[in-house]
Chains A and B, each alone.
Chain A
Amino acid sequence: AQRVTQPEKLLSVFKGAPVELKCNYSYSGSPELFWYVQYSRQRLQLLLRHISRESIKGFTADLNKGETSFHLKKPFAQEEDSAMYYCALSTGNQFYFGTGTSLTVIP
């Protein structure tokens, strides 16, 4: 069963526009949710995790247990935000990734 769903495979926004990358999860326990980013030709790296509740590079994500969502948001997109974004869920023993969303920020 798909534990993490990212409904948008591709997302394009103009520079300066708000951006929201959607992530929904399915897990009966208490999950840990993460967002990972993969810039062109670089390794996957952690962008943020829900338990730290911090903002990295202007991105924030709030865990909504009622909607089982962990959407990633940024009020003003920048060109350097163009990358592949993966939402991930950890059960403590395993990591599950969403299918990823390719974000393109148009100058």
Chain B
Amino acid sequence: GAVVSQHPSRVICKSGTSVKIECRSLDFQATTMFWYRQFPKQSLMLMATSNEGSKATYEQGVEKDKFLINHASLTLSTLTVTSAHPEDSSFYICSATLGGLNTEAFFGQGTRLTVV
């Protein structure tokens, strides 16, 4: 199946700094990528839908100025957590779809963010 790579897999940052997480589709072009947040022992929460070349669509309650999403190419989307705070500590997961008639989503391995 298609491969989605997320980097870094684990990051620790100081409160007030910004952190960028990359999501790459390695062997296919992803018109649409999704960013999720997973709290401990809770479900995936869709944060935003990212379409190549256009602004991301954020879900209700997600601060777009806090979580900056850029999808500059068909193989790369980035999520930047700006001015991180301890409450931003979480597991962030991206996924990408092949598009067209095939809407299966492929997931990155996730990024564990810890803000200290």
Contact = CB atoms under 8 A, between A and B. Distances in A.
Interface of A: 32, 34, 36, 43-46, 49, 86, 88, 90, 92-100, 102
B103 A90 contact: yes
Interface of B: 1, 32, 34, 36, 41-44, 46, 49, 93, 95, 97, 103-110
A93 to B, nearest CB: 7
A44 B43 contact: no
Contact of A46 (B46, B104, B110): B104
B107 A96 contact: no
Contacts, number: 50
Given A32-B103, A43-B110, A49-B104, A99 B43 contact: yes
A49 B1 CA distance: 14
Query: What secondary structure prevails in chain B residues at the interface with A?
Result: strand
B46 A96 contact: yes
A16 B93 CA distance: 33
A45 B103 contact: no
A92 B107 CA distance: 17
A100 to B, nearest CB: 4
